[in-house]
Amino acid sequence: MVKADEDAVYKQTLDLDFTGMEPQVACPHNVDNVKSVSELSKVKINQSFIGSCTNGRLEDLEQAHALLKGKQVHPDVRLLVVPASRAVYKEALQKGILEDLLDAGAIVSNPSCAACFGGHIGLLGPGEKGISTSNRNFRGRQGSPEAEVYLSSAAVAAASALTGYITHPEEVA
């Protein structure tokens, strides 16, 4: 954790209370096009991508694991899990997280960028919709320019993989 110097002086400090705020989702095709998860509950998805350097950390995989363990991914959804690094992959493997995600129906890949930049796994086809924990959702970024990518937390992506629609994690917990 980074801490300020004890003698640090600030022009202004803000106290923000996000209690009760719903998870937010960035809608196609811009990261600034944000809506609350409840506004998107009718959006059907074809794919859920949990991973990349931004949200393939152990904490992200643990969030997904907490929701997916003992359940099955919706039959119309591909769930792709791509740990951020070899170290994350190994720790998730040792903790049994990857095995449980596989049992839930996930496809687990080697650490990489994968779908985030339109790489080797997770490309969306024309007309498909995906929810992703990556950091960009520009047109064509994860496959076809005719696909739509929604950006979310790992918890929202995991919940959505279970229902086939963009879903608040509390609905499946």
Integer Cα distance of 122 and 107 in angstroms: 10
pTM: 0.88
Average pLDDT of the chain to the nearest whole number: 89
Rounded to a whole number of angstroms, the CA Rg of the chain reads 17
In this structure, CATH architecture of domain 24-171: 2-Layer Sandwich (3.30)
Q: Between the CA of residue 110 and those of 3, 75, 77, 93, 169, what are the distances in Å?
A: 35, 23, 20, 12, 26
Q: What pLDDT score was predicted for residue 104?
A: 98
Q: At 3, which amino acid appears?
A: K
Confidence label for 20 from pLDDT (cuts 50, 70 and 90): confident
Q: pLDDT tens-digit profile of 40-89?
A: 999 999 999 998 777 778 999 999 999 999 999 999 999 999 998 999 99
Per-domain residue ranges of the chain: 24-171
Each residue's pLDDT tens digit, 96-134: 999 999 999 999 986 665 555 556 677 889 999 999 998
